[in-house]
Structure 1
Amino acid sequence: MLVALLLLLALSDGVRVNGDGGGRQCESSPALKPRPHTVSILEFGAVGDGKTLNTIAFQNAIFYLKSFADKGGAQLYVPTGTWITQSFNLTSHLTLFLEKGAVIIGSQDPFHWDVVDPLPSYGRGVEVPGGRYQSLINGYMLHDVVITGNNGTIDGKGLAWWELFSSHSLNHSRPHLIELVASDHVVVSNLTFLNAPAYSIHPVYCSNVHIHNVSISAPPESPYTVGIVPDSSDLVCIEDCIIATGYDAIALKSGWDEYGIAFGRPTENVHIRRVHLQAASGSTIAFGSDMSGGISNVLVENVHLYNSESGIEFRTTRGRGGYMKEIMISDIEMKNIYTAIAASGHCGSHPDDKFDPHALPLLDRIVLQDMLGTNITIAGSFAGLQESPFNNICLSNITLSLNSASSITWECSNVFGFSDSVLPKPCPELETFSHCLSLPSINMKTAVM
């Protein structure tokens, strides 16, 4: 199975859209055309009473709609009701539409969830060695898939999974709500996601992904729940979303240590804008720590971050390899954040003892500008690696109002950069350069200061 996945993923590289991405993926929003064929899940015997298990109905409906792939595609309509189901797989040229008041609920019995191979860029389950539970809604090697609705809801009922995780009783790594693998032209919109066992939306090895107007929520105490995770994916837009989770709100990733290095697929050409984010114990926007395939050409703009442990955070460690570079973050409003900006070269664990400790990550050409923060405890914390310092960190027009609990403004080690009009005044290491380098590969507002 793993060998087949690797071969198919290699072939999928050929269907990526050409172009440099431009850094502004959200400027070209896809136009959703009506599908010529529509069926209701009711036609396949589903019962939305909150008690009946409807897995067979979803599977049969999608199998039937697969026959319309070469006829313009089809839509599966889920009407108002509560629809309990196990995992099911989507097909190409399909729209899954949830009507207002429609709630898809994932079965809370782990025995109802299939176990699948680990992702090749991770080499093992992230939480437990070996396989991982298949996510609630899945897609593999698909083209032209839409998951949308009239503000319908997908609820993972994650409490049982969180308790298994916290008690170290998991047999396999937790499932996600939506996981699309090696797929292109994907849209997720106009839905509410609740109580994911782990991640809510996980596009991995995907191209042309547009996620907009979704609401994602998990309780603050839910362990390591994450909202949206673009993973070894390119040409990604995330916009107009509201996310509040237990750990990270949005996390960009690209593989784990030697497995991510060998797989070698970066996350690049990502645009995030007009989002409201809350992350109880993690970061509202996180880069890494699993970033061994690289992360580059990212534009984050016009976002609101609040009530969180960390605002913007870059995470990596020895053995990761890879890079995080050519990233611009601007027009940020923060409120009630413990650490506004953080970058650590000492964050994260390793999948096994086969990693190369000499595989050093690169953090370079990061621009943060036009930021305003209130009730901040620590303005910034940068801890690079002595063998691979963080370089070209450029800060401009940043004002952070610290609270009375603040005893440290900035912490810096093994970092070099430039700053202009930053309050409170940053550490000397961030005044090393006389100007900020430009980021020519990102088509955005100039980064030259």
Structure 2
Amino acid sequence: MKNPIFQNSYIIGVISAVLIFGSLVECRVPSSSNKIDYTAINCRKHSAILTDFGAVGDGKTLNTKAFNSAITKLSQYANDGGATLIVPPGKWLTGSFNLTSHFTLFLQKDAVILASQNEADWPQLPVLPSYGRGRDAPAGRYSSLIFGTHLTDVIITGNNGTIDGQGSVWWEKFKKGEMKLTRPYMIELMYSDQIQISNLNLINSPYWFVHPIYSSNIIVNGLTIRAPLDVPNTDGVNPDSCTNVRIEDNYIESGDDCIAIKSGWDQYGIKFGKPSEHIIIRRVTCISPKSAMVAIGSEMSGGVQDVRIEDLTAINTESAVRIKSAVGRGGFVKDIFVKGLNLNTMKYVFWMTGSYGDHPDSKFDPKALPEINGINFRDVTAKNATIAGKLEGISNDPFTGICISNATIEMFVKKDSDIEMDAKKVKLPWNCTDVAGVTSNVVPQPCALLPDKKVDCPFPTDKLAIENVQFKTCSI
């Protein structure tokens, strides 16, 4: 389902680019009638079209070699203004391929990159150092469909072209317990800087859709992300041990968290020690009946701090902004600021968990307790909610500094015929243990551990550096 709100407002021309490929790859000078204008963090001097490298867009011919040949050829222009690879209309079947620096992958309207369903087309990678094992299986993992490591200035964008992960085969193998390695992500960029992923339709990823990890200066905007609502681990956008991240103007339907902020798993994440920080998330719509609009954790052992979340909408979603941690995680979640949530049909409005005990192995340190402090919510409107708040800290390690102000929650009301007559089984709107904080102007009345103090919970007024990054108008 394409959402018109998130159609690319920047593309003002629709063309079929005419290009020449020889010893140099250069665009033919276009006339004004066949020029594509788009916005990006950087423009490119050189360009080529995928068909120049023998690609066939019939949805059946494997084009991995064409993608790799094109990107290898275009990499020679990294120090001469960079290059763009244009994916034209058609269905371009491919296995995993790697990007290069100072490079743009541009999908035209009606271009579809199809992920191969043959495991032989997916190279194997070692486990991530901050995780210590694969998440599906202890051994390694498959490379993502679109992969890159140690890159600078890489852009994946288009005129609302589509990347289809064709994940059904992988989902079925996972369901049957047949995975020997972790399923591939759709897009993963590691140890990279200056990343833009924008104005695309992403569907049916085998695992997480967008996974920047150990990276910085990242903008993810204008994406429509869709996966079946009953398939696990199809998270939308997961910044993982990343710094300076801007996620905005996206529409996400997922069987798991729409957005999840992570930073490593138990002792491996503690040792790696790279937090996720300075992140802004705004103007995102989420549908996720079995998970969160935004999750922080559960893998947060490297720490998460300075996250700013504003103007988000959730519909038929299990929870809004959820914090997930456990004994053995270590690390911290602090200085989290949330304002302007519009929630409709939720199981939990406020949900924090200190017992999310999914561990990579038995070697975790039970004395490694997480620090959860400075969690701020304001200006929240929720309708048709089952539970207003379920806040569960850790015994002898309470979650502190919780602040909730100006929140109005309309609770779901059962029909008379459905009311459970046994009062012991009636769910209270709030359930709080091992937490401390304050509330102000919150309906229904919160638990006693969050007393009314007549405060306005803070939200930063300064701008993060990533917010000041301006797009340029580029042309193909």
Whether TM exceeds 0.5 here: the answer is yes
Greater mean deviation of Cα atoms: 219-228 or 62-71: 219-228
Which residue of structure 2 aligns with residue 420 of structure 1?
Answer: 440
Contact 1:296 1:324 in 2 (8 A): yes
Structure 2: which amino acid aligns with 1:380?
A: G
Which residue of structure 1 aligns with residue 296 of structure 2?
Answer: 287
Distance change in 2, residues 1:115/1:396 (3 Å): same
Contact 2:154 2:196 in 1 (8 A): yes
Runs of 4+ in 1 over 4 A off after TM superposition: 432-444
Which residue of structure 2 aligns with residue 196 of structure 1?
Answer: 205
Q: Is 1:307 paired with 2:316?
A: yes
Which residue of structure 2 aligns with residue 125 of structure 1?
Answer: 134
Contact 2:380 2:407 in 1 (8 A): yes
Contact 1:417 1:432 in 2 (8 A): no
Equivalence map 1:97-112=2 (5 Å)? 97-112=106-121
User: TM-score under structure 2 normalisation?
Assistant: 0.85
Distance in 1 between residues matched to 2:95 and 2:40, nearest whole Å: 31
Q: Deviations over 1:275-298 (max 9, x none)?
A: 101112111110000000000000
Q: Deviations over 1:335-363 (max 9, x none)?
A: 01111110000014111111101000011
Q: Is 1:253 paired with 2:262?
A: yes
Distance in 2 between residues matched to 1:54 and 1:346, nearest whole Å: 46
Structure 1: which amino acid aligns with 2:291?
A: G
Contact 1:280 1:308 in 2 (8 A): yes
Which residue of structure 2 aligns with residue 116 of structure 1?
Answer: 125
Contact 1:41 1:58 in 2 (8 A): yes
Distance change in 2, residues 1:319/1:433 (3 Å): farther
Distance change in 2, residues 1:32/1:441 (3 Å): closer
Equivalence map 1:280-429=2 (5 Å)? 280-405=289-414, 407-429=427-449
Q: Give structure 1 stretches of 5+ with no counterpart.
A: 1-29, 445-449
How far is 1:32 from its partner?
3.4
Distance change in 2, residues 1:123/1:433 (3 Å): farther
DSSP 3-state at the match of 2:231:
coil
Larger Rg: 2
DSSP 3-state at the match of 1:241:
strand
What RMSD over aligned residues (CA atoms) do the two structures have, in Å?
Answer: 1.6
DSSP 3-state at the match of 2:394:
coil
Which residue of structure 2 aligns with residue 217 of structure 1?
Answer: 226
Structure 2: which amino acid aligns with 1:328?
A: F
1:94 to 86, 100, 103: 103
Contact 1:314 1:343 in 2 (8 A): yes
Contact 1:299 1:327 in 2 (8 A): yes
How far is 1:408 from its partner?
2.1
Distance in 2 between residues matched to 1:87 and 1:126, nearest whole Å: 19
Which residue of structure 1 aligns with residue 143 of structure 2?
Answer: 134
Greater mean deviation of Cα atoms: 343-352 or 401-410: 401-410
Contact 1:392 1:436 in 2 (8 A): no
Q: Is 1:265 paired with 2:274?
A: yes
Q: Is 1:63 paired with 2:72?
A: yes
Contact 2:151 2:191 in 1 (8 A): yes
Contact 1:77 1:96 in 2 (8 A): yes
DSSP 3-state at the match of 1:111:
helix
1:278 to 276, 281, 287: 287
Distance in 1 between residues matched to 2:346 and 2:357, nearest whole Å: 22
How far is 1:110 from its partner?
1.7
Q: Is 1:169 paired with 2:189?
A: no
Contact 1:416 1:431 in 2 (8 A): no
Distance in 2 between residues matched to 1:439 and 1:320, nearest whole Å: 27
User: TM-score under structure 1 normalisation?
Assistant: 0.90
DSSP 3-state at the match of 2:199:
strand
Distance change in 2, residues 1:353/1:407 (3 Å): closer
Contact 1:365 1:437 in 2 (8 A): no
Q: Deviations over 1:83-113 (max 9, x none)?
A: 0000000000000000000000110112221
Identity of aligned residues (%): 45
Distance in 1 between residues matched to 2:304 and 2:41, nearest whole Å: 29
DSSP 3-state at the match of 2:136:
coil
Q: Is 1:75 paired with 2:84?
A: yes
